[in-house]
Every structure is written in C-alpha cells, then in structure tokens.
C-alpha cells in the first residue's frame, strides 16, 4: 500500500451495510486484477481492476469494493463502488430497471435513507418501508384506497 489512492483508502469512513453505522472501515486486502472491460468481435479488451476489502471497526463485517481503475481517475472519492453487501443500494447503477421503466429517485432515496434504521430502530424502518411501498404504488398508479389494495392491484 504505497500509492496515493491507498493513503486515502486507509481513512475511509462510510456506511457499513452489516451494522448500519457510519464508521471507520479498515482496508484488509487489495487485489489488482486485469478484467475484461469489453469484448468486440471475440477480442477481449482488458483493463486494470482493483478489489479492496474492508473490515468494519464496529461489527467486523466485511465490505468488498471494486472498480476499473480508469473510473477512479475522475472520481471525487477514492472509495470504489461497494460490491458486497449491497445494503440499501438495491437498484442498478443508473437507477433504472430498463430504459422504459425507471425506478423513481424518490423511491431509491427514501429506501436508502431508511435502510440504516433497520437495526437501530426497526419500527421506524418498517414505517419507512411502508412509505416506500406507497411511493411505488403512486408511481405505478395502483388502484385502491388502502395500501394492501394498491399492492394487490400491482400483481
Ligand atoms: Zn459494521
């Protein structure tokens, strides 16, 4: 661990998707790979890809990050995208399921805000999940007066 990006990674404080705390994550393992970036006419174009594993200082849960190094050059943070566990980041990177049927940002934002509550305040988390479901039903124009009726309408 000698280059500048590793110095930044030593001091990472981010949301632990195991315990829900925003705490110091200690880098414990780094693996530099050369992965296929794209394939054109059966020709593989490989680029440097780095995996970094962190250990949570609170719960010792393992978080795996990784990305192609070229993406880190323009990024503001030296933190690579989280590969495991995904926690509240359940949606695809561009917040879309398909170009025709995007997940509304209000839904992903609310779920992302509620997710850390699941251990600290389970009742509050459950309440926020209900609000998330209401947003989904509103987005899909589900018919019904109560949430359970709207959910049945979506089936
Ligand atoms: Zn943790």
Q: What digits encode the pLDDT tens for the residues 63-111?
A: 999 999 988 877 777 788 888 887 766 555 544 455 556 777 788 788 8
Q: Are residues 28 and 57 in the same domain?
A: yes
C-alpha of residue 19 to centroid of ligand 1, in Å: 4
Q: How far apart are CA 56 and CA 72, in angstroms?
A: 22
User: Averaged over 138-147, what is the pLDDT?
Assistant: 91
User: Is 77 part of a structural domain of the chain?
Assistant: yes
Residue 11, C-beta contacts closer than 8 angstroms, at least 6 positions apart: 24
User: Averaged over 117-122, what is the pLDDT?
Assistant: 82
Q: Are residues 79 and 133 in the same domain?
A: no
C-alpha of residue 22 to centroid of ligand 1, in Å: 8
- Single out the residue of 77, 75, 85, 69 nearest to residue 37, CA to CA: 69
| Residue 69 lies in domain | 4-84
Q: pTM for this one?
A: 0.61
pLDDT per residue as tens digits for the range 145-154: 999 999 999 8
- Stretch (H or E) spanning 120: helix 117-120
Residues with CB under 5 A from ligand 1 (ion): 16, 18-19, 56, 58-59, 61
* First-to-final CA distance of the chain: 51
User: Is 30 part of a structural domain of the chain?
Assistant: yes
User: Is 144 part of a structural domain of the chain?
Assistant: yes
């Amino acid at each position: 661990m000698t280059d500048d990006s590793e110095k930044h990674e030593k001091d990472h404080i981010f949301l632990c998707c195991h315990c829900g705390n925003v705490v110091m994550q200690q880098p414990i393992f780094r693996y530099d790979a050369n992965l296929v970036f794209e394939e054109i006419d059966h020709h593989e174009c490989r680029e440097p890809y780095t995996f970094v594993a962190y250990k949570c200082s609170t719960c010792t849960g393992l978080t795996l990050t990784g990305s192609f190094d070229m993406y880190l050059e323009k990024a503001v943070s030296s933190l690579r995208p989280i590969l495991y566990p995904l926690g509240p980041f359940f949606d695809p990177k561009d917040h879309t399921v398909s170009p025709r049927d995007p997940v509304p940002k209000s839904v992903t934002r609310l779920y992302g805000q509620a997710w850390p509550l699941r251990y600290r305040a389970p009742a509050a988390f459950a309440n926020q999940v209900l609000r998330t479901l209401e947003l989904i039903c509103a987005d899909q124009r589900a018919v019904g007066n109560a949430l359970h009726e709207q959910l049945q309408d979506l089936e």
